[in-house]
Amino acid sequence: MRLTRKTDQAAVSNKAVLGLNRRQFLKSASLATGGIAAASMLGAGMMRKAEAKDIPHDTPTETKRTICSHCSVGCGIYAEVQNGVWTGQEPAFDHPFNAGGHCAKGAALREHGHGEKRLKYPMKLEGGKWKRLSWDQAIEEVGQQALDIRKESGPDSIFFMGSAKFSNEQAYMYRKFAAMWGTNNVDHSARICHSTTVAGVANTWGYGAQTNSFNDIRNAKAMMFIGSNPCEAHPVAMQHILEGKERGAKIIVVDPRFTRTAAKSDEFVHIRPGTDIPFIYGLLWHIFENGWEDQTFIDQRVYGMERIREEVKKYPPAEVANIVGASEEQMYRVAKLLAETKPGTIVWCMGGTQHHVGNANTRAYCILQLALGNMGVSGGGTNIFRGHDNVQGATDFGLLFDTLPGYYGLKTGSWKHWCNVWDLDYEWVKSRFDQEPRLGQDPMTSTGIPCSRWHDGVLEDKSKIAQKDNIHMAFFWGQSVNTETRGREVREALNKMKTVVVVDPFPTMAGVMHERTDGVYLLPAATQFETYGSVSASNRSLQWRSQVIEPLFESKPDHVIMYKLAKKWGFEKEFCKHIQVNGDEPLIEDMTREYNKGMWTIGYTGQSPERLKMHQENWGTFDIQSLEAPGGPAKGETYGLPWPCWGTPEMKHPGTQILYRTGREVKYGGGNFRARYGVEHNGNNILAEGSYSKGSEIKDGYPEFTDKMLKQLGWWDDLTAEEKVAAEGKNWKTDISGGIQRVAIDHGCIPYGNAKARCIVWNFPDDIPLHREPLYTPRRDLVAKYPTYEDRMVARLPTLYKTIQDQDFSKGFPLIITTGRLVEYEGGGEETRSNPWLAELQQEMFIEINPADAADRGIRDGDDVFVHSPEGAKITVKAMVIPRVVPGECFMPYHFAGVFEGKSLEKNYPEGTVPYVIGEAANTVMTYGYDVVTQMQETKVSLCQVSKA
């Protein structure tokens, strides 16, 4: 529909005209693309299946309850199935998260049942041609090549890229799978999503997850979004946010761009990308100056605020205005609003995390909430929105290069705990690993290679990496490599490896962006609608999904593919020791039961399959305000039993909706900050003082529970005889009977102890957050005062900081470039760009540029432009001239791929799998830069130049 006819006018006006928005602009700029895509839509798929339109209306309908597989809000869906075909989708008005609502992606979910562009069967690239394989042959070849590489280069030469699209059960099994192969080179997109949050926040107060829930935002009186744009990234969260606003809450949006969320705000603060810490310190300056901090809360529950108070003195208003760009008046206004309007919540996403100081950014946000005393209350908290539907779960299950499931770490004790759960001999598991220390690091107990830098594991001089040899083969199991920066190196690494294996419903970039003619395998994985299992939403609730349809074409569920490979590699017996296997399919409920026996640290122990299915069947009994069931079979429980759901399923813990909430009994989901770092630091007590959860028998801080502590407290005899046997010599994390947890909770105590949150994280390179200018900064005048780190080894890889920052690129590349999301697409975009209902809405890759910068360059709206990277790459995209970005700053969405530096990759795809929309990947021109703790990549600030193409 055209409200105004102006196909040609778009190119003559630099101003978006009334009624012409981003999408219409791009569509009019790209009628040709639409035409091509439409034509390719008509080309029949290789294997036609029954479609909805072939099925008469009166065919009996089965309704399945499932969960959207896009973002982490976790929207419920009623999927209607007739004759095995997904023919309808109905709103789940009774679902406690979304009440029937969906964004563009959720409302287009049924397209997953079409899968026109999916991989249809296993394939391999041979002599430049895609050749069809049988599953048996594919597993045999892939498996054998891995074994050959293992023999020559050791187990660490295989990289296991995992997925945030796995169910919890599959994520758990994949981590176990990598462990049994004998490597910690396993990771997934959480690395480039919220790894800095997990590290920074967990090190502040115990757990690195969203502390409250989407629903609880309804109860906030103030909300500050920093580097978060839920209108595009978590649209259904806006249902709760706008409800809160309509009840009177004030919304502050802090972002380099005037986002769609900013359009709903009361106050929009522009900050220069990469200045989050000075921004937060700028607020704290006013808070401390005016005595607006919550001193009682700080005295009882916070350690090290005095250090922060000292540091903040270095950030007076004028200095903050100079670094950040926000006015002194505005900073005061925002600080005052936050101080006077409580409870208030802070929401952050990738805008905060994807920086080389990401871990410190997340700690700074926490410190602000601690100073305001906004933690552990309804309407407060740090509502950290995760990205993918199960990135929370995949993180929890340790699909990470530095932990085992449940954040147990990689120390020998952690390995022994999991061997105990798996009922396997520790020595056998150990024997699977490389036994030699490499550059002083023991491969089994040291951090592996991160998702963000597997290509450096391939390309770096092997004498400089802390493992036996380079990576020679990688499984890209549900991950798009166009989400990784430094596109040229990614391509070079794909070219160089001996074998590339893609396991995915779609070919993805790992399958097509290389320049190989051989040695690439594509194994078709099924989506989550073709299997079943649990998924953890951002708010830590677990939701059970039912299977909607049978796997499409020849695709197989991920856990089946893992089992087949385990069999080829000869460890399928150990892999599924206590898991029933039907044919080649391990039983999903048994996986849940197995992790229930091991995930004590974060309370993934009470959520048995039976309890989760009961919640699934009773969506409508949970209240949308409180998430609790006032009656019905789940009476008193919180929807999805958000972790920690303590103890065994029989204990019937209701789950913990709001973390660290002292106003509630632990048995009803209350708690306090975790005692994770001992009881004292530099002679200071770091346990809580005079603060404890409601009903606690210990009316003060206390350390984490162990067998010895139970004995000292005289509570040992509360354990049953069997529990005593299991608990002897163990603690709350390793007692697999759950007895220690049960007894602690019976006495009103939380198993992990009661400590203060810490502002000082003494085990990190910066023990308090410090501003450091981005590696690629236009503010050369600030580099001397706020320098980055010295180059250093992080985990297994040498990592550059100073070497890069020392070079001045600001003359040739004067524009700051940042990246982000569009509502229609998700992640690397292969799946969503293959969905015609979505693809039609975003047909062109573009860059947002301010009218001033565009005029300086003779660029008009809709022009083709080059974006040049200081590292050499150059992409061709459309210019969107818009005041959403300020002069000197540009923005690109990162979901596009299929064009590489001006050249289409279309011919590299297997027939019939080219997505409806392709475009240049933003990350081709995004540059070097990694968080010093977690190896998060810096995608939110770099430099570029834009010129007319």
Partner 1 sequence: MAVMKFLCDTKRCIECNGCVTACKNENASAIGWGIQRRRVVTLHDGEPGEASISVACMHCTDAPCMAVCPADCFYRTEDGIVLHNKETCIGCGYCFYACPFGAPQFPKKSAFGSRGKMDKCTFCAGGPEPDFSEAERKLYGANRIAEGKLPMCAELCATKALLAGDAGVVSDIYRERTAARGAPGTIWGYTPTTG
Stretch that binds partner 1, among 106-114, 461-469, 606-614, 651-659 (CB under 8 A): 106-114
Write out the binding residues for partner 1, residues 698-727 only, by CB under 8 A.
Answer: none
The stretch near partner 1 (CB under 8 A) out of 195-203, 252-260, 518-526, 722-730 is: 252-260
Whole-angstrom distance between the N-terminal and C-terminal Cα of the chain? Answer: 30
Judged by CB, which is closer to partner 1: 7, or 296? 7
Sign of CA dihedral 492, 178, 738, 710: negative
**Residue nearer to partner 1 on the CB measure, 18 or 721:** 18
**Residue 374: both structure tokens together:** 């906004």
DSSP-assigned letters across all residues of 227-246: S--HHHHSTTHHHHHHHHHH
Give yes or no for a contact between 569 and 147, defined as CB atoms under 8 angstroms apart: yes
**Residue 199 to residue 190: CA distance in whole angstroms:** 11
Strand (E) or helix (H) holding 416: helix 412-422
- Asked if 655 contacts 638 with a C-beta cutoff of 8 angstroms, the reply is yes
Binding span for partner 1 by CB under 8 A among 95-103, 461-469, 863-871, 907-915: 95-103
Task: State yes or no: residue 232 binds partner 1 (CB under 8 A).
Answer: yes
Tell me, letter by letter, the H, E, C secondary structure of 461-507. Answer: CHHHCCCCCCCCEEEEECCCHHHCCCHHHHHHHHHHCCEEEEEECCC
The answer to whether 258 contacts partner 1 (rule: CB under 8 A) is yes
Stretch that binds partner 1, among 268-276, 309-317, 476-484, 930-938 (CB under 8 A): 268-276
834 and 880 Cβ atoms separated by less than 8 Å: no
Among 18, 32, 318, 784, binds partner 1 (CB under 8 A): 18
Size of the site for partner 1 (CB under 8 A): 75
Pick the closer one to partner 1 by CB: 239 or 485: 239
21 sits near partner 1 (criterion: CB under 8 A): yes
50 binds partner 1 (CB under 8 A): no
- Is 48 a residue that touches partner 1 (CB under 8 A)? no
User: Which residues inside 552-581 make contact with partner 1, applying CB under 8 A?
Assistant: none
Of 320 and 494, the one with the shorter C-beta distance to partner 1 is: 320
Q: How far is the CB of 657 from partner 1 (least distance, A)?
A: 22
Token pair recorded at residue 126: 């041979």
The rounded radius of gyration (Å) of the Cα atoms in the chain is 26
- Our finding on whether 416 is near partner 1 (CB under 8 A) is no
Distance (Å, whole) CA 763 – CA 741: 28
The residue within the footprint of partner 1, chosen from 2, 411, 708, 903 (CB under 8 A), is 2
Dump the DSSP string for 535-568: EE-TTS-EEEE---SPPSTT-B-HHHHHHHHHHH
CB of residue 903 to partner 1, shortest distance in Å: 25
55-74 positions binding partner 1, by CB under 8 A: 56-58
From CA 150, how far away is CA 395, in angstroms rounded?
27
Which residues from 294-333 bind partner 1, rule CB under 8 A?
327, 330, 333
* Residue 824 touches partner 1, criterion: CB under 8 A: yes
Closest by CA position to 933, among listed 452, 277, 359, 198: 359
- Residue 883 CB, shortest distance to partner 1, in Å, is 5
Sequence letter at residue 496? K
The minimum distance between CB 318 and partner 1, in angstroms, equals 16
Among 10, 26, 37, 710, binds partner 1 (CB under 8 A): 37
Among all chains, which residue has been given the structure tokens 């899968």? 115
Residue among 218 and 417 whose Cβ is closer to partner 1: 218
Contacts of 225 (CB under 8 A, 6+ apart): 251, 252, 253, 254, 255, 261, 265, 347, 348
- CA-nearest of 740, 742, 724 to 732 is 740
Smallest separation (angstroms) from partner 1 to the CB of 17:
9
Q: Which of 98/607 has CB closer to partner 1?
A: 98
Structure tokens at 671: 């708690």
By CB under 8 A, what part of segment 876-895 binds partner 1? 882-885
108 binds partner 1 (CB under 8 A): yes
- Which residues from 782-811 bind partner 1, rule CB under 8 A? none
Rounded-to-integer distance, Cα 564 and Cα 578, Å: 17
Which stretch, 17-25, 565-573, 752-760, 811-819, contacts partner 1 (CB under 8 A)?
A: 17-25
Separation between Cα atoms, residue 529 and residue 508, nearest integer Å: 19
Nearer to partner 1, 156 or 848 (CB): 848
Spatial CA neighbour of 279 closest among 346, 182, 199: 346
Q: How far is the CB of 825 from partner 1 (least distance, A)?
A: 11
Candidate segments 144-152, 241-249, 550-558, 751-759, binder of partner 1 by CB under 8 A:
241-249
Residue 219 is a binding residue for partner 1 (CB under 8 A): no
Question: Considering beta carbons, is residue 756 or 878 the nearer one to partner 1?
Answer: 878
Is residue 80 close enough to count as binding partner 1 by CB under 8 A?
no
Judged by CB under 8 A, which stretch of 261-269, 408-416, 436-444, 475-483 contacts partner 1? 261-269
- Centroid of chain to Cα 843: 26
Question: Of these, 105, 218, 356, 895, which contacts partner 1 (CB under 8 A)?
Answer: 105
| Angle at the Cα of 27 from the Cα atoms of 814 and 918, rounded to 5 degrees | 70
Residue whose CB is less far from partner 1, 91 or 798 = 91
Report, in Å, the least distance between residue 291 CB and partner 1. Answer: 25
Q: What distance in Å separates the CA atoms of residue 936 and residue 233, rounded to the nearest whole number?
A: 19
- In the block, tokens 């080389």 appear at 356
Residue 533 C-beta-side C-alpha neighbours within 13 Å:
31
The region of 86-94, 133-141, 290-298, 552-560 touching partner 1 under the rule CB under 8 A is: 86-94
Which residues, 833 to 862, sit near partner 1 by CB under 8 A? 836-838, 840-841, 848
- Pair of tokens at residue 145: 């090549």
Q: Single out the residue of 133, 114, 115, 108 nearest to residue 123, CA to CA.
A: 133
Nearer to partner 1, 845 or 933 (CB): 845
Q: What is the closest distance, in whole angstroms, from the C-beta atom of residue 483 to partner 1 in the complex?
A: 22
16 interacts with partner 1 by CB under 8 A = yes
CA distance 189 to 162: 8
Residue in 32, 44, 127, 246 binding partner 1, rule: CB under 8 A: 246
